[in-house]
Amino acid sequence: MTILDFDNRALNLETEGNQVKRILGDDVYQNKLSKSAKSRKPAPIRNLFPYEHAPGMISMLAGKPNPNLFPLVSLTMKVRSSEHRNDDALTELSLDGKDLEVALQYGPTAGTPELVKWLTDLTCHLHGSQLDEGWRVTVGSGSQDLLYKALTALIDSEDAIFLETPTYPGVLPIVQSLGCNIIQIPSDADGIDPSSMALILKSWPKEKPYPKLLYTIPFGSNPSGSTTTLARRLEVLRLAREYDFIILEDDPYYHLYYGNMPRPPSYFALERKVNGELGRVLRFDSFSKIVSGGLRLGWATGPQMLVDAIDLHGSSSNLQASGMSQMVVIKLLRHWGIDGFLAHAATCAQFYRDKRDLFEKYLQKHLQGVATWSTPNASMFYWIRLHLPPSMKAENIKNDEGDAVLFLTEKAIPGGILVLPGSCAYADERRICNVRVSFSLLDEENMDEGLRRLGSLLRA
Ligand SMILES: Cc1ncc(COP(=O)(O)O)c(C=O)c1O
Protein backbone atom coordinates (compact mmCIF):
# COMPACT_ATOMS: atom_id res chain seq x y z
CA MET A 1 0.00 0.00 0.00
CA THR A 2 1.38 3.44 -0.87
CA ILE A 3 0.34 6.38 1.27
CA LEU A 4 1.18 10.00 0.66
CA ASP A 5 2.68 11.78 3.59
CA PHE A 6 1.87 15.46 4.25
CA ASP A 7 5.05 16.49 2.50
CA ASN A 8 4.00 14.39 -0.50
CA ARG A 9 6.60 11.70 -0.06
CA ALA A 10 5.23 8.31 -0.91
CA LEU A 11 5.68 5.85 1.92
CA ASN A 12 5.34 2.20 1.21
CA LEU A 13 3.48 0.27 3.82
CA GLU A 14 3.27 -3.48 3.51
CA THR A 15 -0.08 -4.53 2.15
CA GLU A 16 -2.32 -6.29 4.62
CA GLY A 17 -2.51 -9.39 2.46
CA ASN A 18 1.24 -10.05 2.81
CA GLN A 19 1.30 -9.77 6.53
CA VAL A 20 1.59 -12.26 9.27
CA LYS A 21 -0.42 -10.91 12.18
CA ARG A 22 1.27 -11.10 15.56
CA ILE A 23 -0.95 -10.22 18.50
CA LEU A 24 0.99 -9.32 21.64
CA GLY A 25 0.55 -11.76 24.53
CA ASP A 26 -0.98 -10.89 27.92
CA ASP A 27 2.49 -11.05 29.52
CA VAL A 28 3.31 -7.74 27.79
CA TYR A 29 0.41 -6.00 29.56
CA GLN A 30 0.90 -7.86 32.82
CA ASN A 31 4.33 -6.23 32.96
CA LYS A 32 2.83 -2.84 32.26
CA LEU A 33 -0.07 -2.75 34.71
CA SER A 34 0.34 -0.62 37.81
CA LYS A 35 0.26 -2.01 41.34
CA SER A 36 -3.16 -0.48 41.91
CA ALA A 37 -4.55 -2.12 38.74
CA LYS A 38 -3.13 -5.48 39.73
CA SER A 39 -4.52 -5.30 43.23
CA ARG A 40 -7.99 -4.05 42.24
CA LYS A 41 -10.65 -6.61 43.05
CA PRO A 42 -13.76 -7.14 40.91
CA ALA A 43 -16.91 -5.46 42.21
CA PRO A 44 -18.92 -8.38 43.61
CA ILE A 45 -22.35 -7.50 42.19
CA ARG A 46 -21.18 -6.33 38.76
CA ASN A 47 -19.01 -9.41 38.49
CA LEU A 48 -22.18 -11.56 38.63
CA PHE A 49 -24.16 -9.41 36.16
CA PRO A 50 -23.47 -11.68 33.14
CA TYR A 51 -25.26 -14.59 34.87
CA GLU A 52 -28.49 -12.59 34.83
CA HIS A 53 -28.78 -13.41 31.15
CA ALA A 54 -28.36 -17.19 31.56
CA PRO A 55 -31.44 -18.97 30.18
CA GLY A 56 -34.04 -19.64 32.90
CA MET A 57 -32.21 -17.59 35.55
CA ILE A 58 -34.36 -15.88 38.21
CA SER A 59 -32.18 -13.03 39.38
CA MET A 60 -32.39 -11.68 42.92
CA LEU A 61 -28.92 -10.21 42.50
CA ALA A 62 -28.86 -6.48 41.89
CA GLY A 63 -30.57 -3.61 43.63
CA LYS A 64 -32.04 -2.43 40.33
CA PRO A 65 -35.00 -0.14 41.00
CA ASN A 66 -38.36 -1.22 39.57
CA PRO A 67 -38.81 0.66 36.27
CA ASN A 68 -42.58 0.94 36.83
CA LEU A 69 -41.75 3.64 39.33
CA PHE A 70 -39.59 5.74 36.99
CA PRO A 71 -41.46 8.99 36.31
CA LEU A 72 -40.29 9.36 32.68
CA VAL A 73 -42.50 7.58 30.17
CA SER A 74 -41.50 9.09 26.84
CA LEU A 75 -39.07 11.66 25.44
CA THR A 76 -38.98 13.23 22.01
CA MET A 77 -35.85 14.55 20.31
CA LYS A 78 -35.59 16.65 17.17
CA VAL A 79 -32.52 15.87 15.16
CA ARG A 80 -30.69 17.87 12.48
CA SER A 81 -29.84 16.09 9.26
CA SER A 82 -26.26 14.90 9.04
CA GLU A 83 -25.40 16.70 5.80
CA HIS A 84 -26.44 20.20 6.73
CA ARG A 85 -27.62 22.23 9.66
CA ASN A 86 -30.92 23.35 8.24
CA ASP A 87 -33.36 23.53 11.12
CA ASP A 88 -36.35 23.29 8.75
CA ALA A 89 -35.53 19.65 8.07
CA LEU A 90 -35.58 18.16 11.56
CA THR A 91 -36.40 14.50 12.20
CA GLU A 92 -38.36 13.59 15.29
CA LEU A 93 -37.12 10.57 17.26
CA SER A 94 -38.94 9.29 20.30
CA LEU A 95 -37.42 7.45 23.18
CA ASP A 96 -39.86 5.18 25.01
CA GLY A 97 -40.75 1.54 25.77
CA LYS A 98 -37.87 -0.92 26.05
CA ASP A 99 -35.29 1.67 24.91
CA LEU A 100 -36.28 4.04 27.68
CA GLU A 101 -36.22 1.20 30.20
CA VAL A 102 -32.64 0.34 29.15
CA ALA A 103 -31.69 4.04 29.26
CA LEU A 104 -32.99 4.51 32.80
CA GLN A 105 -31.80 1.25 34.35
CA TYR A 106 -28.29 0.34 35.56
CA GLY A 107 -26.28 -1.17 32.70
CA PRO A 108 -22.94 -2.85 32.01
CA THR A 109 -19.74 -1.01 32.95
CA ALA A 110 -18.38 -1.39 29.39
CA GLY A 111 -21.43 0.39 27.98
CA THR A 112 -24.87 -0.38 26.59
CA PRO A 113 -24.24 -3.43 24.36
CA GLU A 114 -25.81 -1.86 21.27
CA LEU A 115 -23.49 1.17 21.53
CA VAL A 116 -20.46 -1.03 22.17
CA LYS A 117 -21.33 -3.08 19.07
CA TRP A 118 -21.81 0.09 17.01
CA LEU A 119 -18.44 1.50 18.09
CA THR A 120 -16.78 -1.85 17.43
CA ASP A 121 -18.18 -1.82 13.88
CA LEU A 122 -17.04 1.79 13.47
CA THR A 123 -13.52 0.84 14.56
CA CYS A 124 -13.41 -1.92 11.93
CA HIS A 125 -14.74 0.50 9.32
CA LEU A 126 -12.38 3.41 10.09
CA HIS A 127 -9.19 1.70 11.20
CA GLY A 128 -9.35 -1.52 9.20
CA SER A 129 -9.39 -3.63 12.37
CA GLN A 130 -10.79 -7.15 12.57
CA LEU A 131 -12.63 -8.72 15.45
CA ASP A 132 -10.12 -11.50 16.12
CA GLU A 133 -7.23 -9.18 16.90
CA GLY A 134 -7.40 -9.12 20.69
CA TRP A 135 -8.99 -5.68 21.16
CA ARG A 136 -12.30 -4.43 22.45
CA VAL A 137 -14.18 -1.22 23.14
CA THR A 138 -15.41 0.28 26.39
CA VAL A 139 -17.60 3.34 26.81
CA GLY A 140 -16.83 5.95 29.46
CA SER A 141 -18.10 9.27 30.81
CA GLY A 142 -16.10 11.20 28.22
CA SER A 143 -12.59 10.27 27.16
CA GLN A 144 -11.30 12.15 30.21
CA ASP A 145 -12.82 9.46 32.44
CA LEU A 146 -11.18 6.70 30.39
CA LEU A 147 -7.83 8.50 30.24
CA TYR A 148 -7.84 8.84 34.01
CA LYS A 149 -8.55 5.15 34.48
CA ALA A 150 -6.06 4.03 31.83
CA LEU A 151 -3.22 6.17 33.16
CA THR A 152 -3.95 4.99 36.69
CA ALA A 153 -3.97 1.40 35.46
CA LEU A 154 -0.55 1.78 33.85
CA ILE A 155 1.55 4.13 35.94
CA ASP A 156 3.37 3.63 39.24
CA SER A 157 5.43 6.33 40.91
CA GLU A 158 8.71 4.66 39.93
CA ASP A 159 7.80 4.59 36.21
CA ALA A 160 8.92 6.91 33.45
CA ILE A 161 6.49 8.03 30.73
CA PHE A 162 6.71 10.09 27.54
CA LEU A 163 4.37 13.02 27.16
CA GLU A 164 3.99 14.91 23.90
CA THR A 165 4.34 18.60 24.73
CA PRO A 166 2.76 21.03 24.71
CA THR A 167 0.04 18.70 25.98
CA TYR A 168 -3.63 18.66 26.88
CA PRO A 169 -3.73 20.54 30.20
CA GLY A 170 -6.42 18.12 31.45
CA VAL A 171 -4.04 15.17 31.43
CA LEU A 172 -1.28 16.82 33.46
CA PRO A 173 -2.97 16.67 36.88
CA ILE A 174 -3.51 12.93 36.35
CA VAL A 175 0.07 12.03 35.54
CA GLN A 176 1.48 14.48 38.06
CA SER A 177 -0.60 12.97 40.86
CA LEU A 178 0.80 9.54 40.00
CA GLY A 179 4.29 10.85 40.82
CA CYS A 180 6.02 9.30 37.80
CA ASN A 181 9.01 10.63 35.89
CA ILE A 182 7.45 12.69 33.07
CA ILE A 183 9.69 13.02 30.03
CA GLN A 184 8.42 15.82 27.81
CA ILE A 185 8.78 15.21 24.07
CA PRO A 186 8.55 18.35 21.95
CA SER A 187 6.24 18.78 19.01
CA ASP A 188 6.05 21.32 16.17
CA ALA A 189 3.75 22.02 13.25
CA ASP A 190 4.26 18.40 12.08
CA GLY A 191 3.22 16.95 15.43
CA ILE A 192 5.35 15.05 17.94
CA ASP A 193 9.04 14.93 17.09
CA PRO A 194 10.21 11.33 17.54
CA SER A 195 13.88 12.17 16.99
CA SER A 196 14.24 13.51 20.51
CA MET A 197 12.55 10.39 21.85
CA ALA A 198 14.98 8.24 19.89
CA LEU A 199 17.95 10.11 21.38
CA ILE A 200 16.64 9.69 24.92
CA LEU A 201 15.99 5.99 24.39
CA LYS A 202 19.42 5.38 22.86
CA SER A 203 21.16 6.74 25.91
CA TRP A 204 18.71 5.29 28.43
CA PRO A 205 20.53 3.90 31.51
CA LYS A 206 20.84 0.11 31.31
CA GLU A 207 19.66 -0.46 34.87
CA LYS A 208 16.43 1.49 34.48
CA PRO A 209 13.28 0.16 32.80
CA TYR A 210 12.35 2.04 29.61
CA PRO A 211 9.39 4.44 29.71
CA LYS A 212 6.12 2.54 29.84
CA LEU A 213 4.03 4.65 27.55
CA LEU A 214 3.71 7.65 25.31
CA TYR A 215 0.71 9.97 25.59
CA THR A 216 0.08 11.74 22.28
CA ILE A 217 -2.70 13.66 20.52
CA PRO A 218 -2.21 12.87 16.83
CA PHE A 219 -4.89 15.02 15.16
CA GLY A 220 -5.24 18.76 15.82
CA SER A 221 -3.46 18.45 19.13
CA ASN A 222 -4.73 20.42 22.08
CA PRO A 223 -3.15 22.96 22.48
CA SER A 224 -0.74 23.03 19.52
CA GLY A 225 -3.33 22.38 16.78
CA SER A 226 -0.76 20.25 14.95
CA THR A 227 -1.42 16.93 13.23
CA THR A 228 1.38 14.37 13.30
CA THR A 229 2.65 13.45 9.83
CA LEU A 230 2.64 9.86 8.67
CA ALA A 231 6.45 9.70 8.61
CA ARG A 232 6.57 10.71 12.28
CA ARG A 233 3.79 8.28 13.21
CA LEU A 234 5.76 5.47 11.59
CA GLU A 235 8.86 6.43 13.55
CA VAL A 236 6.90 6.64 16.83
CA LEU A 237 5.46 3.19 16.18
CA ARG A 238 8.91 1.81 15.33
CA LEU A 239 10.29 3.15 18.61
CA ALA A 240 7.32 1.78 20.57
CA ARG A 241 8.06 -1.67 19.20
CA GLU A 242 11.82 -1.47 19.68
CA TYR A 243 11.61 -0.16 23.24
CA ASP A 244 8.36 -1.85 24.21
CA PHE A 245 6.12 1.02 25.21
CA ILE A 246 2.36 1.52 24.82
CA ILE A 247 1.03 4.39 22.67
CA LEU A 248 -1.89 6.16 24.30
CA GLU A 249 -3.53 7.74 21.27
CA ASP A 250 -5.86 10.46 22.57
CA ASP A 251 -7.88 11.33 19.50
CA PRO A 252 -10.96 13.50 20.22
CA TYR A 253 -10.22 15.57 17.10
CA TYR A 254 -9.89 12.63 14.68
CA HIS A 255 -13.12 13.57 12.92
CA LEU A 256 -12.20 17.25 12.85
CA TYR A 257 -9.35 16.76 10.40
CA TYR A 258 -9.80 19.18 7.49
CA GLY A 259 -6.33 19.32 5.93
CA ASN A 260 -5.77 19.29 2.17
CA MET A 261 -3.65 16.15 2.25
CA PRO A 262 -5.24 12.72 2.75
CA ARG A 263 -5.87 11.97 6.40
CA PRO A 264 -2.92 10.02 7.90
CA PRO A 265 -3.91 6.71 9.50
CA SER A 266 -4.44 6.50 13.24
CA TYR A 267 -1.79 4.63 15.21
CA PHE A 268 -4.43 1.97 15.80
CA ALA A 269 -4.75 1.52 12.02
CA LEU A 270 -1.03 1.92 11.34
CA GLU A 271 -0.13 -0.98 13.61
CA ARG A 272 -1.76 -3.49 11.35
CA LYS A 273 -0.34 -1.95 8.20
CA VAL A 274 3.29 -2.19 9.32
CA ASN A 275 4.61 -5.70 9.92
CA GLY A 276 1.34 -6.74 11.47
CA GLU A 277 2.35 -6.63 15.16
CA LEU A 278 -0.78 -5.64 17.04
CA GLY A 279 -1.53 -4.58 20.59
CA ARG A 280 0.66 -1.61 21.39
CA VAL A 281 -1.98 1.10 20.93
CA LEU A 282 -4.73 2.16 23.30
CA ARG A 283 -7.05 4.63 21.58
CA PHE A 284 -9.36 7.23 23.08
CA ASP A 285 -12.27 8.68 21.11
CA SER A 286 -14.92 11.14 22.13
CA PHE A 287 -18.43 12.17 21.17
CA SER A 288 -17.79 15.53 22.82
CA LYS A 289 -16.51 17.45 19.81
CA ILE A 290 -18.93 16.06 17.24
CA VAL A 291 -22.15 15.26 19.13
CA SER A 292 -22.05 17.04 22.50
CA GLY A 293 -19.67 17.57 25.39
CA GLY A 294 -22.50 17.58 27.92
CA LEU A 295 -23.57 14.02 27.13
CA ARG A 296 -20.18 12.99 28.59
CA LEU A 297 -19.50 10.05 26.32
CA GLY A 298 -16.22 8.73 25.00
CA TRP A 299 -14.79 5.32 24.23
CA ALA A 300 -11.49 3.52 24.59
CA THR A 301 -10.32 0.86 22.14
CA GLY A 302 -7.36 -1.38 22.65
CA PRO A 303 -5.87 -4.58 24.00
CA GLN A 304 -8.41 -6.63 25.96
CA MET A 305 -6.32 -6.71 29.15
CA LEU A 306 -5.86 -2.94 29.27
CA VAL A 307 -9.53 -2.28 28.55
CA ASP A 308 -10.42 -4.84 31.25
CA ALA A 309 -8.29 -2.85 33.70
CA ILE A 310 -10.19 0.32 32.79
CA ASP A 311 -13.52 -1.43 33.35
CA LEU A 312 -12.40 -2.93 36.63
CA HIS A 313 -11.74 0.60 37.84
CA GLY A 314 -15.13 1.74 36.48
CA SER A 315 -16.95 -1.11 38.21
CA SER A 316 -15.98 0.34 41.57
CA SER A 317 -16.02 4.07 40.74
CA ASN A 318 -18.75 5.52 38.51
CA LEU A 319 -20.11 2.02 37.61
CA GLN A 320 -20.96 3.05 34.02
CA ALA A 321 -21.42 6.03 31.71
CA SER A 322 -24.91 7.57 31.78
CA GLY A 323 -27.43 5.13 30.30
CA MET A 324 -29.59 8.02 29.16
CA SER A 325 -26.73 9.68 27.27
CA GLN A 326 -25.85 6.36 25.67
CA MET A 327 -29.43 5.79 24.55
CA VAL A 328 -29.69 9.30 23.08
CA VAL A 329 -26.58 8.54 21.03
CA ILE A 330 -27.86 5.06 20.09
CA LYS A 331 -31.05 6.66 18.77
CA LEU A 332 -29.00 9.10 16.69
CA LEU A 333 -26.72 6.38 15.37
CA ARG A 334 -29.63 4.08 14.47
CA HIS A 335 -31.13 6.98 12.57
CA TRP A 336 -27.87 7.95 10.83
CA GLY A 337 -26.09 4.64 10.31
CA ILE A 338 -22.29 4.75 9.85
CA ASP A 339 -22.62 6.77 6.63
CA GLY A 340 -24.85 9.38 8.28
CA PHE A 341 -22.52 9.59 11.28
CA LEU A 342 -19.53 10.14 9.00
CA ALA A 343 -21.47 12.68 6.94
CA HIS A 344 -22.25 14.56 10.15
CA ALA A 345 -18.57 14.40 11.20
CA ALA A 346 -17.57 15.73 7.78
CA THR A 347 -20.05 18.60 8.21
CA CYS A 348 -18.40 19.43 11.55
CA ALA A 349 -14.92 19.31 10.00
CA GLN A 350 -15.98 21.62 7.18
CA PHE A 351 -17.54 24.03 9.70
CA TYR A 352 -14.26 24.28 11.64
CA ARG A 353 -12.24 24.57 8.43
CA ASP A 354 -14.34 27.57 7.41
CA LYS A 355 -13.89 29.07 10.87
CA ARG A 356 -10.15 28.40 10.70
CA ASP A 357 -9.94 30.23 7.36
CA LEU A 358 -11.79 33.22 8.74
CA PHE A 359 -9.69 33.26 11.91
CA GLU A 360 -6.51 33.08 9.84
CA LYS A 361 -7.67 36.15 7.89
CA TYR A 362 -8.01 38.18 11.10
CA LEU A 363 -4.74 36.81 12.50
CA GLN A 364 -3.01 38.15 9.39
CA LYS A 365 -4.85 41.45 9.76
CA HIS A 366 -4.11 42.10 13.44
CA LEU A 367 -1.14 40.00 14.60
CA GLN A 368 1.36 40.32 11.75
CA GLY A 369 4.69 41.34 13.25
CA VAL A 370 3.65 40.81 16.87
CA ALA A 371 3.07 37.05 16.85
CA THR A 372 3.85 33.89 14.87
CA TRP A 373 1.79 30.75 14.38
CA SER A 374 1.26 27.65 12.24
CA THR A 375 -2.07 27.09 10.57
CA PRO A 376 -3.85 24.02 12.00
CA ASN A 377 -5.25 21.24 9.80
CA ALA A 378 -7.61 19.89 12.42
CA SER A 379 -9.54 20.83 15.56
CA MET A 380 -10.20 24.33 16.89
CA PHE A 381 -6.92 25.68 18.27
CA TYR A 382 -4.12 28.01 17.28
CA TRP A 383 -0.91 27.90 19.28
CA ILE A 384 0.38 31.44 18.99
CA ARG A 385 3.85 32.65 19.91
CA LEU A 386 3.43 36.19 21.18
CA HIS A 387 6.22 38.70 20.67
CA LEU A 388 5.79 40.15 24.11
CA PRO A 389 6.73 43.75 24.90
CA PRO A 390 9.99 44.33 26.88
CA SER A 391 7.98 45.05 30.06
CA MET A 392 6.87 41.39 30.05
CA LYS A 393 10.43 40.03 29.83
CA ALA A 394 12.78 39.28 32.70
CA GLU A 395 16.07 41.19 32.65
CA ASN A 396 17.90 38.51 34.60
CA ILE A 397 17.07 35.73 32.07
CA LYS A 398 19.19 35.64 28.91
CA ASN A 399 17.16 36.01 25.69
CA ASP A 400 13.92 35.84 27.66
CA GLU A 401 10.85 35.78 25.45
CA GLY A 402 8.56 36.60 28.31
CA ASP A 403 5.75 34.82 30.07
CA ALA A 404 2.21 34.63 28.70
CA VAL A 405 0.86 34.22 32.26
CA LEU A 406 2.01 37.75 33.06
CA PHE A 407 0.60 39.02 29.78
CA LEU A 408 -2.73 37.38 30.59
CA THR A 409 -3.08 38.78 34.08
CA GLU A 410 -1.62 42.23 33.50
CA LYS A 411 -2.78 43.01 29.97
CA ALA A 412 -5.16 40.54 28.34
CA ILE A 413 -7.80 40.12 31.07
CA PRO A 414 -7.94 43.85 31.90
CA GLY A 415 -8.01 44.48 28.12
CA GLY A 416 -11.03 42.20 27.69
CA ILE A 417 -9.46 39.21 25.94
CA LEU A 418 -9.14 35.73 27.40
CA VAL A 419 -6.63 33.17 26.12
CA LEU A 420 -4.95 30.14 27.67
CA PRO A 421 -1.29 30.77 28.66
CA GLY A 422 1.05 28.13 27.27
CA SER A 423 2.69 27.20 30.58
CA CYS A 424 -0.44 25.14 31.48
CA ALA A 425 0.49 22.71 28.72
CA TYR A 426 3.85 21.68 30.25
CA ALA A 427 4.51 19.48 33.24
CA ASP A 428 7.19 21.91 34.44
CA GLU A 429 4.91 24.96 34.00
CA ARG A 430 7.78 26.67 32.19
CA ARG A 431 7.90 30.34 31.26
CA ILE A 432 6.65 30.49 27.72
CA CYS A 433 5.31 33.24 25.51
CA ASN A 434 2.79 31.04 23.66
CA VAL A 435 -0.93 31.09 24.17
CA ARG A 436 -3.66 28.74 23.00
CA VAL A 437 -6.63 30.39 21.37
CA SER A 438 -9.79 28.55 20.48
CA PHE A 439 -11.82 29.80 17.52
CA SER A 440 -14.73 27.35 17.78
CA LEU A 441 -17.32 29.71 19.28
CA LEU A 442 -16.38 33.02 17.71
CA ASP A 443 -18.41 34.72 15.03
CA GLU A 444 -16.64 36.92 12.49
CA GLU A 445 -17.25 40.12 14.46
CA ASN A 446 -15.70 38.68 17.63
CA MET A 447 -12.75 37.24 15.73
CA ASP A 448 -12.04 40.68 14.28
CA GLU A 449 -12.49 42.52 17.56
CA GLY A 450 -10.80 39.88 19.76
CA LEU A 451 -7.68 39.74 17.60
CA ARG A 452 -7.66 43.53 17.20
CA ARG A 453 -7.55 43.81 21.01
CA LEU A 454 -4.80 41.19 21.24
CA GLY A 455 -2.74 42.97 18.58
CA SER A 456 -3.06 46.38 20.16
CA LEU A 457 -2.11 45.02 23.62
CA LEU A 458 1.01 43.47 22.11
CA ARG A 459 1.91 46.73 20.38
CA ALA A 460 1.30 48.90 23.46
C1 LIG B 1 -6.91 16.15 23.93
C2 LIG B 1 -8.14 15.97 24.74
N3 LIG B 1 -8.33 14.81 25.37
C4 LIG B 1 -9.43 14.59 26.10
C5 LIG B 1 -10.39 15.56 26.26
C6 LIG B 1 -11.59 15.26 27.10
O7 LIG B 1 -12.71 15.02 26.27
P8 LIG B 1 -14.06 14.43 26.80
O9 LIG B 1 -15.07 15.52 26.73
O10 LIG B 1 -14.37 13.29 25.86
O11 LIG B 1 -13.86 13.94 28.19
C12 LIG B 1 -10.22 16.80 25.63
C13 LIG B 1 -11.21 17.87 25.80
O14 LIG B 1 -11.07 19.00 25.41
C15 LIG B 1 -9.07 17.00 24.85
O16 LIG B 1 -8.84 18.16 24.21
Q: How far apart are CA 179 and CA 161, in angstroms?
A: 11
Pairing of strands 420-421, 246-250: unpaired
- Indicate the length of the chain as a whole number: 460
- Are 196 and 185 a contacting pair, CB within 8 Å? yes
Is residue 453 packed enough to be buried (19+ CB in 10 Å), middle (13-18) or exposed (0-12)? middle
286 lines ligand 1 (CB under 6 A): yes
168 lines ligand 1 (CB under 6 A): yes
Both ends of the chain: CA-CA distance in Å?
54
- Are 342 and 173 a contacting pair, CB within 8 Å? no
Beta bridge partners of 91: 79
Q: What is the pLDDT along the chain (460 residues), one digit of tens a residue?
A: 555 454 444 455 544 445 678 999 999 999 999 999 999 999 999 999 999 999 999 999 999 999 999 999 999 999 998 877 667 789 999 999 999 999 999 999 999 999 999 999 999 999 999 999 999 999 999 999 999 999 999 999 999 999 999 999 999 999 999 999 999 999 999 999 999 999 999 999 999 999 999 999 999 999 999 999 999 999 999 999 999 999 999 999 999 999 999 999 999 999 999 988 999 999 999 999 999 999 999 999 999 999 999 999 999 999 999 999 999 999 999 999 999 999 999 999 999 999 999 999 999 999 999 999 999 999 999 999 999 998 888 888 988 899 999 999 999 999 999 999 999 999 998 999 999 999 999 999 999 999 999 999 999 8
252 lines ligand 1 (CB under 6 A): yes
Looking at this protein, which amino acid is placed at residue 333?
A: L
How remote is the CA of residue 143 from the centroid of ligand 1, in Å?
6
How remote is the CA of residue 252 from the centroid of ligand 1, in Å?
6
325 lines ligand 1 (CB under 6 A): no
167 lines ligand 1 (CB under 6 A): no
Atom 5 in ligand 1: residue holding the nearest Cα:
144
250 lines ligand 1 (CB under 6 A): yes
Q: How far apart are CA 179 and CA 310, in angstroms?
A: 20
Nearest atom within ligand 1 for CA of residue 145: 11
222 lines ligand 1 (CB under 6 A): yes
Indicate the top mutation candidate among 171, 248, 286 to test ligand 1's pocket, ranked by most ligand atoms within 8 A of CB.
286
Q: How far apart are CA 401 and CA 409, in angstroms?
A: 17
DSSP at 51:
G
191 lines ligand 1 (CB under 6 A): no
225 lines ligand 1 (CB under 6 A): no
